Chain A
Amino acid sequence: MKTALTVIIVEQDRDRARMIVDALRAFGEHDIHVIGSGTGLARRVAEMRPDLVLIDAGDPSRDALEELTLAAGPLERPVAMFVDRADRHLTRAAIEAGVSAYVVDGLRAERIRPILDAAIARFHVFQRMRSELAATRAALEERKLIDRAKGILMRARGISEEEAYALLRRAAMDQGKRLADLAQALVTASELLK
């Protein structure tokens, strides 16, 4: 019985793929391949006869892999969604991290567990990076909105920037609203009045 597993990582982004490979390398000398998620995915995966396939849970190409669960020929090895056989905690951890694993039928859970744990940890990092980026963008957008609302107040009431900001904050507090939401309302209203 061979000890090295054949692992396919389906990932279009080269940097992300390299980071996943590095993370998995720490857990043994496995045969790791990276392929893009474009056309003919199911055929390419089937040809490589992997033990384990890892793919971003949000990759639209996942549905193509579903075909592999139907492998019918005597030489084809049916692949199952990991969700079928793993313990629920591990499965949930994988899904929450945003990685999906497809495992060849009959492969024992303890053999893939270290690899999957490593992949989950790596995908968690990706997810944090993604949500940090989104939070930064949102904060920037809110900043711009508040600046526009301040500008509107300054022009309409002839007050300073500091006074405009204080006015906005007080109104937000009185109404129990977020500053950005109040700013949005003001900007929308003033556009309607133009």
Chain B
Amino acid sequence: MTAAITLGFVPLLDAAPLIVAAELGFAEQEGLRLRLCRAASWSQLRDLLDLGAVEAAHMLSAMPVARALGLGGGQGGLEVLMVLSLNGQVVGLSGALGPVPFGDPAVAAGLAAPGRVLRFGVPFPFSMHALLLRYWLSRMAPDLAFTLHAVPPPRMTEALQAAEIDGFCVGEPWGTRAVQVAGARLILPGAAIWSQSPEKVLAARHGWAEADPARAAALMRAVWRAGRWAEDPANRTTLAELLAQPHTLDTPALHMEPALRGRVLPDARGPEVAVPQLLAFHAGLANFPWRSQAGWIGAELAAAHGLDPRAAARAARAVFRSDLYRRFLGPAGVPLPPASDKLEGALATAESLPAVRGSLMLMRNRFFDGAVFDPAPAE
């Protein structure tokens, strides 16, 4: 007997693990039938999840945390069962701001000018995109005045052309499209601000997973294996085709291939540039929902919205359910780290780490300014 689970997603490259799980037999192996429900916006996806029209969803990592802090719309608690992807964002500027070299976080210092307020488009007010931009600009260019505006990613190009925004931070392929269509210039990959930022997560309503553990565990196993498949460079051409279909992303595979090959196009006149750690679905224990990742998101949201940082970090940590990840994926032999917190930003190179069984590999984890986020107040 196969049990059906309806999952929500927003048409983006990083919905790949859910699409692969549904379409390439990973769910079937677990006796599950996944029905994918495409949402046109994060607000719509959130409503579908709140009302139970979908059981779990592809979601911006900051959304469930913002909910726990009382920010934004919707009601009821959300929890993160696993991380679906790391990084994948790109920062770009309107071509009107003149040539800017790619890949150097220090360029922000040159953007400040008296009386100038730079307007940046981000996909959602509560998103890693918004947090990374704030983190980077406030430290690198304290004199720069800027505002953030929610712009649907497919409209980023149009908003640039209409001079509604001066720059953006968005997930691929929308950054590349802004370069090709609107003459924008990419200046940084998100990975240059934080090389291991949790970008999308698998979220469910609070209590959903524990109400039927066998079903949630089967879903998580299928998604975990799908992420491993999607990470493999040998599968990336197939993946691009899978994502290009009318019922998935409905975007030419051509637009997705550069990012899937780890490359971006900073300037329409080329050339493509290889970016280390541009996007990960699996490598470096990508799927483990670290409490410290949630703590960082909570602390940054608190700073941006004037909340008490300690209370925010505490509330945030509870949202990333590393305990459920251990309970549901451990028996399947998925590598588990010995602790559920790590010092974010403290790893200068990839490093092997003893796991609960055997060992596992963590990737370089650095903030552009060398800061280390210590999740110390672990209770």
| A interface residues (Cβ-Cβ under 8 A, vs B) | 38-40, 42, 57-67, 69-70, 80-81, 83-84, 91-92, 95, 100
Contact = CB atoms under 8 A, between A and B. Distances in A.
Contact of B43 (A40, A80, A100): A100
B75 interface: yes
B309 interface: no
A66 B75 contact: no
A40 B119 CA distance: 12
Interface residue tally of chain B, by bracket? 20 to 34
B376 interface: no
Given A39-B164, A83-B75, A84-B74, A65 B159 contact: no
Given A66-B124, A80-B73, A81-B74, A39 B41 contact: no
Contacts of A67: 125, 149-150
B75 A61 contact: no
Interface of B: 39-44, 47-48, 50-51, 53, 71-75, 123-125, 149-152, 154-155, 158-159, 162, 164, 305
21 contacts: A39-B151, A39-B158, A42-B150, A58-B41, A58-B44, A59-B40, A60-B40, A60-B154, A61-B152, A61-B155, A63-B41, A63-B42, A63-B43, A66-B43, A66-B73, A69-B125, A70-B125, A83-B73, A84-B75, A92-B51, A95-B53
Contacts of B125: 66-67, 69-70
Nearest to B39: A58
A64 B74 contact: no
Nearest to B162: A39
A91 B39 CA distance: 18
A81 B41 contact: no
A83 B74 contact: yes
Contacts of A59: 40-41
The residue in A39, A42, A65 that gathers the most chain B C-beta atoms within 10 A of its C-beta is A39
Q: What secondary structure prevails in chain B residues at the interface with A?
A: loop
A95 B47 contact: yes
Given A58-B40, A63-B42, A67-B125, A83 B47 contact: yes
B40 A64 contact: no
A143 to B, nearest CB: 20
B73 A57 contact: no
A84 B40 CA distance: 20
Nearest to A98: B44
A80 B50 CA distance: 15
Given A63-B124, A66-B72, A81-B73, A57 B47 contact: yes
A97 to B, nearest CB: 12
Contacts of A91: 51
A8 B162 CA distance: 23
Given A39-B164, A57-B47, A63 B150 contact: yes
Contacts of B154: 60
Contact of B150 (A57, A66, A92, A95): A66
A39 B40 contact: no
Contacts of B124: 63, 66
A57 B44 contact: yes
Contacts of A63: 41-43, 123-124, 150-152
A74 to B, nearest CB: 15
A42 B152 CA distance: 12
Contacts of A61: 41, 152, 155
Given A39-B162, A81-B74, A60 B47 contact: no
